[in-house]
Structure 1
């Protein structure tokens, strides 16, 4: 009698890098807001852009001057300052928000949003700081599950501060 070998257990999947993409009317203003809100850095893609321009692979009309350096006209990302990134492209595989220009304005409630956790006892001062950056407090929520403030960024995207 021959025995059937035991099936090989499935291996764990390789983690997938991801970024959250946010539609924006003004991606650069959104990047500035969220970089300041989160303590992130705006990615510097200028070296990549200059190479693409020199190769003729990118038209000059697809770029803008952003804080004194070349940037893509229709998209820009912010990333956590501790995360790795490729120095040749300025792009990182870590915690990122990418803002992409779209022609239409936001019209309905977000189906996904960020929850910010500034730390114990810091919610009110964080809400005030974010309002100073251009956010708006929409409502204060107090439920048995917790308390938070629903806010909107300068383009109306909702997020919560816990």
Structure 2
């Protein structure tokens, strides 16, 4: 038997603000709030389903370096251009990581600067 990813943990300065952003991006809901300020978000069916939950863990420590992991997202109910516009309206911003402009994906950053990519393919929401 193998493991599977059940949770992703992202350190951030404002878990509530990032929870609002990522819930809107992924159609997730807040699943839990901890006394330390951490917020867990995930699919409506909760922890243990086919998608991992995301724990937004509050930290006041400065960023150490560029994270070695980033999230890729795909639109489920619209084309890439329409999804890009939606993400930008939610507070994402374009990020330059040395793209040539010929890529089939868009590099973006969430409100705290965490990079993620919007891929071209539309996928099934389930």
Q: TM-score range by the shorter chain?
A: 0.7 to 0.9
Q: Which residues of structure 2 form unaligned runs of 5+?
A: 120-126
TM-score of the aligned structures, taking structure 2 as reference length: 0.77
Counterpart position of 1:104: 61
Structure with higher Rg: it is 1
Counterpart position of 1:23: 11
Contact 1:41 1:79 in 2 (8 A): yes
1:93 equivalent among 23, 48, 51: 48
2:102 equivalent among 130, 136, 142: 142
Counterpart position of 2:43: 80
Count of residues in Structure 1 that have an aligned counterpart in Structure 2: 114
TM-score of the aligned structures, taking structure 1 as reference length: 0.61
Aligned runs of 1:2-151 on 2, under 5 Å?
12-13=1-2, 15-16=3-4, 18-45=6-33, 72-81=35-44, 83=45, 85=46, 92-94=47-49, 95-106=52-63, 108-119=65-76, 122-139=79-96, 141-143=101-103, 147-151=104-108
Q: Which residues of structure 1 form unaligned runs of 5+?
A: 1-11, 46-70, 86-91
Counterpart position of 1:58: none
The SS at the match of 1:35 is: helix
Which string of whole-angstrom CA distances, capped at 9 and with x for unpartnered residues, describes residues 98-157 of structure 1? 0001112435322101111115971111111111111101146424xxx10000000000
